[in-house]
Structure 1
Amino acid sequence: MHLFPRLIVPDPDQASAFYQDALGAEQVFRAPPIEDGRPSVVDHRIGDSFFRVSPAVSEWGWLAPGDLGGSAVLVEVEAEDPDAVGESMAARGAEVVVPIENRPYGKRSGRIRDPFGHLWILTGELR
């Protein structure tokens, strides 16, 4: 069994480019486009993990965070250097929601909202 989170976004091509640039994601699959020309799914790999990006299509019930008034899911990334990942995302248009700092629960973590409204927790070892 495998789990592939699917992030719903207005523009899968723009989101795919962001995740490749900001996170070093590798695009590993691209499905044929739907009627409006957007790909129905774009698969990505980061290390041993995979995630998908698909377009918002309200008649299918596929809604992006902006359609819902915010993100209903947190995507958590454990990284060797969460500060560098957060800086990379912020440099490309993401918003720092909670600064990356040492936390009392024994992790260094913070929260970032990507340009498409998805919330990411970036976490790693204490510094």
Structure 2
Amino acid sequence: MTHHRILPRLIVPDPDRASAYYRDALGAEEVFRALGDDGRPTVVEHRLGGSSFRVSPAVPAWGWLSPDDLGGSAVLMEIEVDDPDGTGARMTADGAEVAVPIENRPYGKRSGRIRDPFGHLWIITGEPR
């Protein structure tokens, strides 16, 4: 069997700031960092539980555009956590905004949507309380 792995890459204006945000707000662990000739990160990989995602700077010449460049995010990142309310509170305390409040949903989950400070939308979901 061939090994495959999908690594979402969030394009952000400042990978250092985004990496610090995701570490603090989500508890993500930084596991890889590549630097460009200017010493700034070109990619930072994070592990969150059994999943990984990356952040990279916006580079319009390559077609790498941030949500601000596009007028919004075309992708939803979904994270399943033990404490959706606590995760949402940490995210908003660190500069995110609530797009859809976290509450019990009729489909049996407690979830909501948070827009992080870089314009990316996150569905925060977990067990209802």
Distance 1:119 1:34 in 2: 31
**Runs of 5+ consecutive residues of structure 2 not aligned to the other structure:** none
Match of 2:14 in 1: 11
Offset from partner CA, 1:58-98 (integer Å, 9 cap, x none) = 00000000000000000000011111100000000000111
Match of 1:32 in 2: 35
Identity between Structure 1 and Structure 2 (%): 73
Extract structure 1 runs of 4+ deviating beyond 6 A. none
* Letter matched to residue 57 of structure 1: V
Match of 2:45 in 1: 43
Q: Over the residues paired in the alignment, what is the CA RMSD in angstroms?
A: 0.9
* Letter matched to residue 104 of structure 2: N
8 A Cα contact 1:38 1:55, kept in partner: no
Give how far 1:34 is off: 5.0
8 A Cα contact 1:28 1:45, kept in partner: yes
Match of 2:98 in 1: 96
Within the candidate set 119, 123, 126, 2:125 is matched to: 123
**Runs of 5+ consecutive residues of structure 1 not aligned to the other structure:** none
Distance 2:37 2:85 in 1: 37
Distance 2:41 2:47 in 1: 17
Distance 1:31 1:99 in 2: 36
Give how far 1:106 is off: 1.1
Distance 1:24 1:34 in 2: 29
* Letter matched to residue 103 of structure 1: R
Distance 1:34 1:57 in 2: 15
**In 2 relative to 1, CA 34–64 (structure 1 residues): closer, same or farther, beyond 3 Å?**
farther
